[in-house]
């Protein structure tokens, strides 16, 4: 019954994640066919915004792919995908400005951004090791090691849960960081005259669609975390009774 409930909650969220991904692509495609009045490309937008805000140590590069845009703070690079870099569309400048929003977060010391950056190493480790540790802990807990009084399995499960919680926390912090970057992007686009007030709703739709993918990922991560937590607590409770 617990597993059935888990599936009943998880499957709609997986559907939501698929819908959000499709929505991003369709919304971007729709507004990538709408040229902006300033005729500025994604590259032009990124360079203009960096210059306007006094940022001189960040390079703007073109990378392969579609919607693979990202800011790499360690390498001091804003990497724009092929679909964004040379396109003078409403969608392209919205995505480029969003990445500059992350640059400004780092420059201004925006706390959620700093927290997310600090969580990156732990989140990477957690995403790789959490489930193996939990499964190994369950195996140990059901083996002769537990019968001999070993607590190794229990500690493995607890460690796995802690690691997975860090990964989930990373996703939780990521959401406000992405939303804030989008707010910054919309403000900068209008202030710099890159988009008009009439073009701004299109940019908002593109950025909102992208934000939905982060919402879906967070919800799925939370469901898995709660599932693992229930399993581990049940096993620990059983052992305490024994």
Query: Residues with catalytic annotation?
Result: 99
Place of tokens 């306007």: 52
List, as own/partner pairs, every contact residues 114-122 make where C-beta atoms lie below 8 angstroms and the sequence separation is at least 24, other chains included. Answer: 115/173, 116/170, 116/173, 116/174, 116/177, 117/73, 119/166, 119/169, 119/170, 119/173, 120/170, 122/163, 122/166, 122/167, 122/170
Q: In this structure, what token pair is assigned to residue 162?
A: 């802690």
Dihedral angle at the C-alpha atoms of 232, 234, 240, 242, nearest 10 degrees?
A: -120
| Closest to 123 (Cα-Cα) out of 168, 71, 172 | 168
68 half-sphere exposure, CB direction, 13 A CA radius? 9
Give the DSSP letter of residue 35: B
79 to 6, 84, 165, 218: CA distances (angstroms): 38, 10, 30, 24
* Alpha-carbon gap, residue 96 to 80, rounded angstroms: 7
């Amino acid at each position: 019954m617990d597993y059935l409930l888990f599936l009943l909650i998880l499957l709609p969220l997986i559907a939501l994640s698929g819908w959000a991904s499709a929505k991003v692509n369709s919304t971007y495609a729709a507004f990538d066919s709408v040229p902006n009045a300033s005729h500025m490309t994604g590259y032009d937008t990124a360079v203009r915004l960096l210059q306007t805000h006094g940022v001189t140590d960040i390079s703007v590069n073109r990378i392969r792919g579609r919607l693979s845009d990202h800011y790499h703070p360690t390498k001091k690079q804003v990497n724009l995908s092929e679909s964004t870099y040379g396109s003078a569309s409403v969608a392209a400048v919205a995505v480029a400005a969003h990445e500059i929003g992350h640059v400004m977060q780092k420059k201004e010391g925006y706390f959620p951004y700093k927290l997310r950056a600090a969580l990156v190493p732990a989140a990477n480790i957690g995403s790789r090791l959490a489930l193996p540790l939990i499964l190994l802990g369950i195996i140990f807990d059901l083996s002769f090691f537990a019968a001999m009084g070993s607590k190794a399995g229990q500690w493995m499960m607890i460690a796995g849960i802690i690691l997975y919680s860090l990964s989930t926390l990373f996703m939780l912090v990521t959401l406000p960081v992405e939303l804030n970057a989008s707010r910054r992007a919309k403000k900068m686009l209008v202030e710099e005259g890159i988009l008009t007030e009439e073009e701004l709703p299109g940019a908002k739709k593109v950025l909102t669609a992208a934000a939905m993918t982060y919402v879906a990922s967070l919800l799925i991560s939370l469901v898995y975390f709660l599932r693992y937590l229930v399993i581990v607590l049940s096993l620990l409770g059983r052992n305490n009774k024994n």
